[in-house]
Structure formats: C-alpha cells, structure tokens
Structure 1
Amino acid sequence: MKKIGVFGSAVDSQDSLNQKSRKLGEQIARTGNSIVTGACTGLPLYAVLGAKSLGGYSIGFSATYNQEKHMEVMGTSPELYDSIILIPEHYKYKDNVEVCRKYRNVESVAACDAAIFISGRWGTLNELSNAYDMNKIIGILGDTGGVTDHVQLLLNSFKKATKSQVFFEKDPLNLINMISQKLQ
C-alpha cells in the first residue's frame, strides 16, 4: 500500500472544493492506497472523510505533542486517523504551534510516496516546496484556486533541477489514477 498525501487549505474551503477533496480521498481508498494529511480541518479533512467512507487507511500528522492538545489546536478528532503522528514531546519548540506546523509539514510530506495539492495558501506552498525538493511525485488538482493556480509559473520561474514529476489534472479521479499508475 502506497501513501498519498493530500495537502490544501485548512481554512478556505467552499462546497465545490470540499466535494473535489472528498473525491480525492475516495479514489485514494478505491486504488488501495492510504491517505496522509496534516490532520487538520478544511480540504485535507474532506479528503480523509472520503477515504474513510470507503474503508481507507488514514495517517494524520499533528502539529501538537499530545492527543488532547490535538483536538484543541487542530480541530479534528484523533479518532479520524488509523495512525496519528505527534510532535515529539522533547521537541524544543513544542509549544510554538507555528513552528510545529512547519515541522509537521516536513514530516508528513517525507512520509508520502506522492503528494496531491488542492487550492491552498502559504502552508500548502511550504508543503509543495518540500515535496518538490524531496523528489516526490506531485499531483496538482487544477482550477481550485490558491497556490495550485500558480504552480506552473513557479516551476517556470525557478527552474530547479529535481527528480520530482509534476502532473496537472482538473478531475480528482483522473489525477489519483495517474498518480497510482506512477506509484506501481
């Protein structure tokens, strides 16, 4: 079973994006892959709900160091995830949630075999740059706004050599199918 991350806005979502995100999660489960997210609200949560609705396996990377704090800070129940990865309790910045979100971003992207991006803002851009630098297979769900509308411009502007493969697709099912084929 491969791990496919779904990264996108935890705060800016609208019904059409929520539904696309849910379809991403459902298709991840249908293809026999597990879903990885930052264990947050918004679009990643809808993807987890989609995967779980079809019996998919979910892995959440929290920006907190215990499950009680997770619910308070992240706004999702740890029970949504088959596996929840917490910040180490001995981590020097464990009480600085902004630092812990970036720690979580690196860890969650590193754990993925592929990463899908839908909409998003600064945190999503951080996850995208991590995925690109880590040579991940990357899927961009087009026409979803936010960061994903600017990925081609960023790739053309920075021209950094990497082994990442970046795929653009507007249909959530087709995007997951493309990524699944690359993972085989």
Structure 2
Amino acid sequence: MNKNNNDLSNGLELGINEKLTICVSGAARGATVDLDYKLAFELGRQVALSGHNLITGATIGLPDWAAQGAKSAGGMSIGISPAASYKEHTKKYHLPVTSYDFILYSGLHYVGRDALLVQSSDAILSIGGRMGTVHE
C-alpha cells in the first residue's frame, strides 16, 4: 500500500471517534413550539449525551429548547446569530443568550446566518418548522 492510501486509512480510522456538530433547526414561534418543545429539549440532551456538540441559529423557540437540553446534559451548545454583536442580538433581534456556551455574532442577518449554520453542521435535525426551517 502506498503512503497516500495509508494516510487515507489513518484519517478514516481517526474520524470514527470524532465529535460531530449537530444542528437542531425548528420553529421559533407558533403552535408547533408548544407541541414540540419537549422533543427539542430531548434532542439537544441526546446530542450532548452522545458526546457531540449542538449548534443552532441562536434563536427563540425550538432551537433554544434544544440548546437548553444540551446544556442540561453538560454538553456544548453553540449558536450562530444573525446579529453582528451581543447588543444587536439581544436588543434588535430579542434573541436568547443563556442557553449557549458560545455565540458567533455573524452579522449576516437570517439568510447569511442560515448558510453559515448549515456549512458548520455535520448533520441537521429539523423539527416543527415553518418557512425559516425549510430555508435552512
């Protein structure tokens, strides 16, 4: 076997135990939040218990419930905000911060944030969403 094949083999072997970044996407508002918040919390919790990182759009509703679930299990919760700063995130967008270990303030508004969120994820779980969830 040549060196390149060995390198590939080693890389694949190392990837088996790799920590994944799993996105939970879903409705921020509406009746579905009332129906699915327990599911979102449990998804976040299970991501953390599986040893993976949770990432969301740092918004209210189901993504925030998932972040709370991850934090409750001692997991890493990452948010990608549409805002350019903490102040804009909390004052203009009225979005939460307490459920996250780290928030990236992208300044890309919702459309750009969604693209960055998808690019940053190894897998995406969508629950109870509306048009914004479909967009992601």
For the superposition of Structure 1 and Structure 2, which TM-score range results when normalised by the shorter chain? 0.7 to 0.9
- TM-score, length-normalised on structure 1? 0.60
Aligned-pair distance for 1:32?
0.4
Whole-angstrom distance in 2 between the partners of 1:74 and 1:39: 10
For the 8 Å contact 2:33–2:61, the answer to whether it is kept is no
Larger CA Rg, structure 1 vs 2: 2
For the 8 Å contact 2:44–2:69, the answer to whether it is kept is yes
Q: CA, structure 1 residues 14+38, in 2 after alignment: closer, same or farther (shift >3 Å)?
A: closer
Partner in structure 2 of residue 170 of structure 1:
none
Gaps of 5+ in 1: 89-93, 95-99, 128-184
The CA RMSD over aligned residues, in Å, is 1.4
| 1:80 and 2:99 aligned | yes
Whole-angstrom distance in 2 between the partners of 1:25 and 1:8: 12
Q: Give the number of equivalent residue pairs.
A: 117
Partner in structure 2 of residue 43 of structure 1:
62
For the 8 Å contact 2:20–2:122, the answer to whether it is kept is yes
Q: 1:25-174, aligned counterparts within 5 Å? A: 25-88=44-107, 100-127=109-136
- TM-score, length-normalised on structure 2? 0.80
| 1:5 and 2:23 aligned | yes
Gaps of 5+ in 2: 1-18
Identity %: 35
Greater relative contact order (Cα 8 A, min sep 6): structure 1 or 2?
2
Whole-angstrom distance in 1 between the partners of 2:59 and 2:93: 5
For the 8 Å contact 2:27–2:33, the answer to whether it is kept is no
